[in-house]
A and B are shown apart, each in its own frame.
Chain A
Amino acid sequence: MKSIIVDDEQLSREIIRHMADQIPAIEIVGSFSNAMQAIKFLNKNEVELMFLDIHMPEFSGFDLIETIKSPPKIVMISSDRNFAVEAYEYDFIVDYIVKPIEFDRFKKMFERIKKRYAKKENVAKPSTNGEQTITDDKLYVNIDRRLVKIDIPSIDIVEAKGDYIKIKTDKKNFVVHCPLKRIEEKLPKDKFLKVHRSFVINIDKIVDIEDNSVLIKRDVIPVSKGNRNELRKRLNLL
């Protein structure tokens, strides 16, 4: 798990690195004394986990979080317990550790992350065709020669638009040059279902169902006759 440390205190950085070195699955690829250095690194490198201090001069840990577009999993590390509640309002903050850190607590943090992000059975293996790559619950799509990360659970709908697909998520929409079939094959089959030749939906996001359509947020998605039975089978019907 490629990880970075962001803490203005060298002592803390050394301690975190020392603890991380004892967990083979964690690979520290960067260690930064301020948020700006970390932001530059994050813009150019793929990072899965960030150990982040809250109190730093000029640019705090929370400022950093608000600045980066696609934050990795974050473990907040602070001498201050007061921000724990605020921290857990962010989905990607997976733990909050109070300094001084004990190694047992650090190990527990890692076990927690492993459990929470255990690979889902049906998530496809990484592709090599360069259009989409899936790692755990992340999907990388190629947009304007950049690989943009999308959290798979945040996807509401994928709609075919000719040679393109439109991926609608909680926060924004992405248009990607890719056939619907390819993304359908890569999404976890227990969560996503093709309900129409032009639509793959996230079953968890369904608000209600009529005979030939489903409502996802404000979108009414048609359900083909041939897909209705499969959709019903997937639902927890009373």
Chain B
Amino acid sequence: MEQPNSSYLDAFAKGDEAFKKQLLDILRTELVEDIDLYFENLNKKDYPQAKLYVHRIKHKMGMLGLEKSYALANKYEIGLLESDLNQQQYFESMLPIMTEYLNSN
């Protein structure tokens, strides 16, 4: 599986560790909320709303250097418009990996 990294955040923070920590804190908090709301809406089969949270999580994948996952999340996001869940399994498999990475940084 693809693994997250902090290249983007490092480049962005330019050595300002406090700022990097601030961003990681926000990422961690928002990701938990996004995941909860994603599953909540998916379970209700409210795909347009679930799509919105896939979109938000996709952005966070980009920030964590998960390029392949970002591309697949994009497909999943588009697929949800037509209730297409083909990419669901891969997308959801990345969520604990992202969470674990953020919790350990």
Contacts and interface: CB of A to CB of B under 8 A. Distances in A.
B59 A79 contact: yes
A80 B49 CA distance: 16
A99 B59 contact: yes
Given A14-B23, A14-B26, A18-B19, A79 B62 contact: yes
Given A9-B30, A79-B62, A100-B62, A14 B22 contact: yes
A68 interface: no
A15 interface: yes
Contact of B12 (A10, A57, A80, A103): A103
A80 B71 CA distance: 11
B9 to A, nearest CB: 9
A11 B60 CA distance: 9
Contacts of A18: 12, 19
Which of the four size classes fits the interface of chain A? 10 to 19
A31 interface: no
B56 A9 contact: yes
Contacts of B52: 55, 57
Contact of B30 (A11, A15, A99, A100): A11
Contacts of A202: none
Nearest to A12: B59
Contact of A11 (B19, B27, B55): B27
B26 A11 contact: yes
Interface in A49-100: 55, 57, 79-80, 99-100
A14 B25 CA distance: 12
Contacts of B29: 10
Interface string B32-53: 0000000000000000010010
Given A11-B59, A15-B12, A102-B11, 9 more contacts: A9-B59, A10-B30, A11-B23, A12-B59, A79-B55, A79-B59, A80-B77, A100-B8, A100-B59
